[in-house]
Amino acid sequence: MPVTQLKNYAEGKWVAAKSGDTLHNAVTGEAIYTASSEGLDFGAMMDYARRVGGPALRKLTFHQRGRMLKALAFHLMEKKEYFYQISAMTGATRADSWVDIEGGIGNLFANASLRRQFPDERFYVDGDAAKLSKNGTFIGHHIMVPREGVAIHINAFNFPVWGMLEKIAVNLLAGVPAIVKPATLTSFLTEVVFEEIIKSNILPEGSLQLICGSARGILDHIQTEDVVTFTGSASTGQQLKSHPRIVSEAVPFNLEADSLNCCVLGPDVKTGSAEFDIFIKEVVREITTKAGQKCTAVRRIMVPANMVEDVQIALGKRLQSSTIGNPATEGVRMGPLAGISQRNEVREKVQELAKSQSIVIGDLEKFEVVGADKEKGAFMSPIVFFNSDPFKNTDCHNIEAFGPVSTIMPYNSIDDAIELARMGKGSLVCSIITADDDVAKEFVLGAATMHGRILVLNADCAKESTGHGSPMPLLVHGGPGRAGGGEEMGGKRGVLHYLHRVAIQGSPTTISRITNVYQQGGKQNETVVHPFRQYFEDLKVGDTLITAKHTVSETDITNFANVSGDNFYAHMDATSLEGTIFTGRVAHGYFVLSKAAGLFVDAKKGPVLLNYGIDEARFTKPVYPGMTIGVKLTVKERVDQEKRDAEDIAKGIVKWLVDVYDETGETVAIATILTMVKKKNQD
């Protein structure tokens, strides 16, 4: 194929340089693209993101931004087969590409779903209010707003699609624009996906920009509200993290570095057991997937000393059956590395490791390749070392060969396994395969501080497990020490990294107005029309119904016990109360809430469709026979809901503060109930 110049996307237009670095097909060695950032003004790009992209995204609510991500995910899924074709030139098999392409699109879907954990607002209310005064007239709270800067994502070569999509999904949901800088080596795959993103016209202009060539100097233009993320080698990441502008502007910098991840065979596992087979399959998959070019790949294999021979034999058999070659050839299980330069670097690391340990599986020179020329492509055999004394020969804990390379090492006790795992000085992930939950607990608690994620595998979960090497959008990804000390993804946690938290103080009424969430003690608007007779659009935060009252009797308590079957002694036996906090038979807490519902519910058919649930119920004071209770029902928060289809009823969720009080005015029970309320406008 002819050599094509990759384009950059800057300030709303595509920009191509006249020359640049040559990129090659990893399978054939053929020159296929050139990449350069010549002609780009990084400062102008960042200004454009802040001036155009940021305001456009911040005008949208979390729900609108989430639906935007969902639409983008569907659009990219329609184009995935084209992406697979391009991905093959990076050396990826279909299975490898699935992780990168559909795994990346899956991140868009997952983050789109997170919108339901945020309000349909442009800001997020964080946590609970803090009472700052004796009488409750002065309170504090926290809100989080989108940072008014730009996210700069400097990504690694191994996942050109996933690396981009998992990061932009989070900053876009948060309302922050981004500039994406993929590693130049495989940027041609990032470019074709990015081009489809722009063609879709789903994102506001200025939301995303792309640099395929060098981005050297871009950090000279960062400002306080920007965010920088980096995935790659620890040494490069540390250099970037110490950039003078990062330091002087106090810019958040998330570093995800390659690490020496480990997989541990539990001391309870025997040859021939289900867990033994799971272990072998997991390790082989981690060595061969993406030809071992994963920041989460297993680099250290920890095995009970009496199991080393069995593990070595089983691994050897499985790896020998893993055909190496052209990903387009049927039966190929492992493709080449991403490029000749990458292969040469891995070979150098293998030679370094060979000084202190022995190769027991594989050979740098003697291996077969199917459907391709071994010399022209970036092919390499899986290499497994054996280190007989990993506490003494420590190169395996310090040198990483970023390819299909790993080291078997023995241990004598679970404490030894924990110590060996920790000798990697911080990793993104480790795993332990064990059928003994006590072993699992001891290992997890002992190894936890030096790992970002720990996978515990056994026969119960292996079939549905996503595996050692797969970070999940709803779990944090990152790790301490060598792994960079960063954290990304993690569901809602990931989105919060792109928001600024600010403490606000004032009266409950003022804080209610700012947050659109009613704060206890704020002014209440007693409505003439029963709130259950009002449509979703008509209800306002602070609208309150003050109900009639009811005097609780012993008959109430007895009848509720008969209906519910709850005959707890405090409700039914006044002679058993000595030594308790109660002075007499006490009403069931659930009776109090049930009676409260009886007081505030309007029975006639109206806009309220159903009771959606109850949150944060507390019984704060005993209710005895003879006490009189009433209810203040207040609109606490309104949450819009999108229609699933044209036939769905337009509706929203209303959160109500239920304050049950006695004749002294003191609260005896408090809860938040949720109702589904129909909208007046059904369009």
- pLDDT tens digits for 276-325? 999 999 999 999 998 888 889 999 999 999 999 999 999 999 998 889 99
Helices assigned H by DSSP within 406-507 = 414-422, 437-447, 492-496
Burial class (CB in 10 A: 0-12, 13-18, 19+), 631: buried
At residue 77, φ and ψ (nearest 5 deg) are: -60, -35
Please determine whether the domains at 4-125+145-257 and 261-470 fall in the same fold group of CATH.
no
pLDDT of residue 41 exceeding 80? yes
pLDDT in tens, 242-272: 899 999 999 999 898 888 999 999 999 999 9
Integer Cα distance of 4 and 185 in angstroms: 14
Mean pLDDT of 582-602: 91
pLDDT of residue 151 exceeding 90? yes
Integer Cα distance of 473 and 135 in angstroms: 43
Domain 4-125+145-257 belongs to what topology? Answer: Aldehyde Dehydrogenase; Chain A, domain 1 (3.40.605)
Pairing verdict, β 178-181 and 208-210: parallel
Torsion of CA 272, 277, 283, 289, to 10 degrees: 140
Integer Cα distance of 504 and 242 in angstroms: 33
The per-residue pLDDT of the chain, averaged, comes to: 91
Q: Verify whether residue 256 is a known catalytic residue.
A: yes
Q: Locate 335 and state its tokens.
A: 């493709």
Mean pLDDT of 449-459: 93
**CATH number of the structural domain 524-678:** 3.10.129.10
pLDDT of residue 38 exceeding 90? no
Q: For the domain 261-470, what is the CATH superfamily, name and number?
A: Aldehyde Dehydrogenase; Chain A, domain 2 (3.40.309.10)
| Residue among 166, 256, 282, 488 flagged as catalytic | 256
Q: Locate 471 and state its tokens.
A: 């970070």
Exposed e or buried b per residue across 523-548, where buried means at least 16 C-beta atoms within 10 angstroms of its C-beta: ebeebeeebbebbbbebebbbbbbbe
Mean pLDDT of 387-391: 95
pLDDT in tens, 536-549: 999 999 999 999 99
pTM of the model: 0.88
Sequence-ordered strand ranges (E) for 529-650: 543-546, 550-551, 608-619, 628-640
At residue 502, φ and ψ (nearest 5 deg) are: -130, 135
Please state the domain extents for the chain.
4-125+145-257, 261-470, 524-678
Helix (H, G, I), strand (E, B) or coil at 134: coil
pLDDT of residue 527 exceeding 90? no
pLDDT of residue 1 exceeding 70? no
Please, which residues bridge with residue 431 across strands? 263, 455
- pLDDT in the model for residue 487: 87
State percent of the chain over pLDDT 70: 100
| Residue among 262, 263, 295, 396 flagged as catalytic | 295
- pLDDT in the model for residue 408: 96
Confidence of residue 228 (pLDDT cuts 50, 70, 90): very high
DSSP H/E element including 504: strand 499-506
Q: Locate 21 and state its tokens.
A: 């670095």
Helices assigned H by DSSP within 88-205 = 94-113, 162-174, 187-200
Q: For tokens 């002294």, what's the residue?
A: 664
Integer Cα distance of 457 and 435 in angstroms: 8
Mean pLDDT of 203-214: 94
Integer Cα distance of 246 and 223 in angstroms: 8
Burial class (CB in 10 A: 0-12, 13-18, 19+), 561: middle
